[in-house]
Structure 1
């Protein structure tokens, strides 16, 4: 895949579940978040969820490069840092889509063959790490892909939930560049699953729980 692989992973049109996922924006909007607060939400996600998931993806990518591929410790550490059951379920749903794509692109790669052994199902960062290894994506490129995906998922969902000028989404992402770079650097510095950042935002967790009980929603989380 060469240089195309990281671009593929960062493409918002990648059919692995983002069409049904708002990265927390829909629950936030239901709780009263307004369009002018989206940049603040992006900054908060970069400090919490995006950092943790980028670090977990890099750890899974490293695990995939071992002689005996074992994602168990990364999966367990990430589960422990995702306390809200709806968010764990959403991550597994997204992970299933990534796993399906990995099987399509590199069915015989050891990193992909090891995914079915993850129980109950691979969380999205674990599946992304396996896919990145199968496509030959480097650690920094992989971390940036995860962080960028977080930003573009929120801004894309905003076009449906809080309609406005589509060019705003470009400005929001560019405005978050320093935070994105910091998240990538922090993710790359994590060496073991025990060191995986345990950062979360209490409101995000509560909104996810409220969202699961909602009968009117566009996105699963």
Structure 2
């Protein structure tokens, strides 16, 4: 089940996302000198910085939503905690659009998700993922790894479309990020309350997202 949910081909709209990389590249990330491998390596550093900040917020929200779904609580109570830690309106909108995609898929494949969440609503992606994790029997650690891997692979996959990156190099970056993903697991796997979700800010990621939302010509939605 975790492998299925981590598949980029899952019909949730994930292919429209770059996890902010497109805006970062427009701002100069990875483009110091064309063909410079060190400059391209900034992509992996960008993905790592997201794992240390915004992904911890997302993963923490997913873990708490899962726990509430399992214990008879209301996963929707996680939404304001997540929103307070996600100041960018553009990032919130992107997450809610993907969350709606997951919710529509869940209605077809895991209808028990609708016992906890309203049908066809725009809800934060981590909240929907947390409830899907609860319904499908994923552990808290599996849910965190899913959130962390999905974010990192989104950045890496987008780099292949935005920069002159070799696929083998991109795969190597993703492999090297696995220890950082496990750090996210250790940081949030035992959370049970929305107030415990980390508040790890990434101001430049927020700025990139807001700038990207106003671009007329773009390859990715966010």
SS at match of 1:22: coil
SS in 2 for 1:83: coil
Structure 1 residue runs of 4 or more that deviate by more than 6 Å after TM superposition: none
CA distance in 1: counterparts of 2:134 and 2:192, whole angstroms = 17
The answer (yes or no) to whether the contact 1:86–1:212 under 8 Å persists in 2 is yes
Alpha-carbon distance in structure 2 between the residues aligned to 1:106 and 1:181: 27
Any conservation in 1 of the 2:99–2:123 contact (CA below 8 Å)?
yes
- Following superposition, the deviation at residue 169 of structure 1 comes to 1.5
TM-score by length of 2: 0.91
2:14 maps to 1:18: yes
Pairing partner for 2:63 from 58, 61, 64: 58
Q: Does 1:219 align with 2:215?
A: no
| Matched residue SS, 1:186 | helix
Query: Could you tell me how far 1:93 is from its partner in structure 2?
Result: 0.1
Deviation at 1:36, TM superposition (A): 2.3
* Mapping of residues 58-77 of structure 1, within 5 Å: 58-67=63-72, 69-77=73-81
Indicate the residue corresponding to 1:209 in structure 2.
Answer: 210
Q: Secondary structure at the match of 1:125?
A: helix
Give 2:35's aligned residue.
none
The match for 1:86 among 73, 87, 90 is 90
**TM alignment of 1:1-221, pairs within 5 A:** 5-34=1-30, 35-67=40-72, 69-107=73-111, 109=112, 111-116=113-118, 121-221=122-222
Aligned counterparts of 1:23 and 1:87: Cα–Cα separation in 2:
9
Gaps of 5+ in 2: 31-39
Aligned residues: 213
Q: Deviations over 1:83-137 (max 9, x none)?
A: 1111110010000000011111121x1x43321189x731000111111122111
TM-score, length-scaled by structure 1: 0.92
The aligned residue for residue 37 of structure 2 is: none
Q: What secondary structure does 2:182 align onto?
A: helix
Distance in 1, matches of 2:76 and 2:105, equals 21
- CA deviations on 1:35-55 (whole Å, 9 max, x unpaired) are 220111011011011111111
